[in-house]
């Protein structure tokens, strides 16, 4: 399989390398060959050097790969003339139609838990964020603002039937898969349908799609109430489906409940390809210091293997993903993972070695 690798900026370089090291260890353990990595240069540092945010033909090479892995993009000190940050990844989302932004939120033993309620130890949910429309349709990278002058700026919040139908079908299928794995599989539509016509339309399409999934329990929540409920009772939720900006905000809030952005994995999936990345930024204040928590990137690598198992029809790739996920769980449970981010004594390299060692020591039998 071919993976387009964009290490990007700051700690993105370190965590991408960590993810690839763990991925290769898991593939070796399951008897699978190493992937072919096609490294594509992109990001703020590349922009500062060349005036381009991604190298020539980089987008075409990303499209030709089986999946795309991204470390992190952006440096606050390097911006466009209008003050916005360098963000070619937003253009990749748009170009490849990566409408389904999957953000797992899972509590791990011995990892920080911000809620005192003991039920917080069992948090395990997914926020599904539409990633090409909503308010991000007007992201500066796309140059779609209606009005931009010294007196006023107007941006568009866009909801289309085509994309939203695909999103909701993805959401119901995901909830059904969760049911089959023993989770509650309840799907909650998160919107602001009481105020915005666009989001009333979002809910209308949800209601149209739900008729094809009578086995999936559903619920509804306005986004402000959902933010409150993620603090009050996150254990009541399993899969949340929502608009782009709402999902951006809620997924960071939820990530804070289970330790921080160093645990925030992300998959962005379209009809033909998927992009996988940690949801955190480039953290230039700790770049090159071996302090970054690579677990969000490592868990994103596991999401990529699950995606590729289905795309390429190779279930052994899911076995490799399971090895990675289990290694992270076991690492926290046995106190073998102590990220500096959480006040521990382990940097990027030490955590990567701990995970690769756990994967290598596992009882998984290599595929014949």
Instruction: Quick: pLDDT tens for 251-302.
Output: 999 999 998 889 999 999 999 999 999 999 999 999 999 999 999 999 999 9
Give me the percent of the chain exceeding a pLDDT of 90: 86
Instruction: Quick: pLDDT tens for 52-100.
Output: 999 999 999 999 999 999 999 999 999 988 888 888 988 999 899 999 9
Instruction: Quick: pLDDT tens for 12-63.
Output: 999 999 999 999 999 999 999 999 999 999 999 999 999 999 999 999 999 9
Query: How many Cβ atoms are within 10 Å of 353's Cβ, its own excluded?
Result: 14
Q: How open is the CA angle 121-327-261, to the nearest 5 degrees?
A: 55
Instruction: Quick: pLDDT tens for 225-246.
Output: 999 999 999 999 999 999 999 9
Domains recognised in the chain with CATH numbers: 1-99+267-367 (3.40.718.10), 113-258 (3.40.718.10)
How many whole angstroms separate alpha carbon 34 and alpha carbon 147? 49
Q: How confident is the model at residue 113 (pLDDT cuts 50, 70, 90)?
A: confident
| Total residue length of the chain | 368
Residues 6+ apart with CB under 8 A from 10: 72, 74, 75, 281, 282, 283, 284, 287
Q: How confident is the model at residue 247 (pLDDT cuts 50, 70, 90)?
A: very high
Instruction: Give me the mean pLDDT over the 161-170 stretch.
Output: 98
- What pLDDT was estimated at residue 364? 56
Contact 302, 321 (CB under 8 A): yes
Q: How confident is the model at residue 153 (pLDDT cuts 50, 70, 90)?
A: confident
For 323, counting Cβ atoms within 10 Å of its Cβ (0-12 exposed, 13-18 middle, 19+ buried), the class is: buried
Alpha helices, DSSP H only, in the chain?
12-29, 44-50, 58-64, 88-96, 161-180, 197-210, 223-232, 244-257, 295-312, 315-333, 348-361
- pLDDT score of 141 more than 80: no
Instruction: Quick: pLDDT tens for 118-127.
Output: 999 999 999 9
- What pLDDT was estimated at residue 83? 85
- What pLDDT was estimated at residue 221? 98
- What pLDDT was estimated at residue 90? 86
Distances (CA, A) of 362 to 8, 16, 31, 205: 32, 23, 13, 45
- What pLDDT was estimated at residue 311? 97
Instruction: Give me the mean pLDDT over the 116-138 stretch.
Output: 92
| 103-134 residues labelled b (16+ CB within 10 A) or e (exposed) | bbbbbbeebbbebeeeebeebbbbbbbbbbbb
The overall pTM is greater than 0.85: yes
- pLDDT score of 176 more than 90: yes
Query: How many Cβ atoms are within 10 Å of 364's Cβ, its own excluded?
Result: 18
Token pair listed for 194: 């009481």
- What pLDDT was estimated at residue 62? 97
Instruction: Give me the mean pLDDT over the 192-208 stretch.
Output: 97
Higher per-residue pLDDT: 345 or 362: 345
For 342, counting Cβ atoms within 10 Å of its Cβ (0-12 exposed, 13-18 middle, 19+ buried), the class is: middle
Summary mean pLDDT of the chain: 94
- What pLDDT was estimated at residue 138? 75
How many whole angstroms separate alpha carbon 16 and alpha carbon 105? 20
């Amino acid at each position: 399989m071919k993976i387009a690798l964009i290490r990007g900026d700051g700690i993105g370089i370190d965590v991408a390398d960590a993810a690839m090291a763990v991925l290769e260890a898991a593939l070796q353990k399951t008897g699978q060959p190493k992937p072919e990595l096609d490294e594509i240069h992109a990001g703020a540092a590349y922009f500062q050097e060349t005036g381009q945010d991604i190298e020539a033909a980089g987008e075409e090479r990303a499209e030709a790969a089986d999946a795309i892995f991204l470390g992190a993009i952006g440096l606050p000190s390097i911006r466009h003339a209008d003050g916005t940050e360098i963000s070619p990844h937003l253009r990749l989302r748009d170009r490849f139609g990566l409408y389904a932004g999957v953000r797992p939120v899972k509590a791990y033993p011995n990892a920080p838990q911000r809620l005192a309620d003991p039920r917080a130890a069992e948090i395990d949910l997914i926020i599904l964020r539409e990633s090409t429309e909503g308010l991000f349709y007007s992201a500066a990278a796309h140059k779609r603002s209606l009005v931009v002058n010294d007196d006023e700026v107007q941006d568009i919040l866009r909801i289309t039937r085509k994309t939203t139908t695909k999103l909701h079908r993805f959401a119901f299928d995901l909830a059904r898969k969760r049911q089959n794995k023993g989770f509650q599989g309840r799907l909650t539509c998160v919107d602001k349908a009481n105020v915005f016509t666009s989001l009333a339309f979002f809910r209308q399409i949800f209601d149209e799609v739900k008729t094809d999934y009578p086995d999936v329990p559903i619920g509804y929540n306005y986004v402000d109430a959902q933010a409150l409920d993620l603090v009050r009772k996150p254990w009541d939720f399993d899969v949340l489906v929502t608009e782009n900006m709402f999902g951006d905000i809620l997924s960071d809030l939820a990530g804070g409940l289970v330790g921080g952005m160093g645990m925030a994995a992300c998959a962005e999936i379209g009809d033909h390809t998927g992009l996988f990345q940690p949801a955190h930024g480039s953290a230039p204040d700790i770049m090159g210091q071996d302090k970054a928590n690579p677990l969000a990137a490592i868990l994103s690598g596991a999401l990529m293997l699950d995606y590729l198992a289905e795309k390429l029809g190779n279930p052994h790739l899911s076995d490799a993903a399971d090895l990675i996920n289990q290694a992270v769980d076991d690492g926290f449970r046995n106190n073998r993972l102590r990220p500096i981010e959480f006040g521990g004594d382990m940097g990027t390299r030490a955590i990567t070695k701990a995970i690769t060692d756990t994967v290598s020591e596992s009882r998984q039998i290599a595929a014949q």
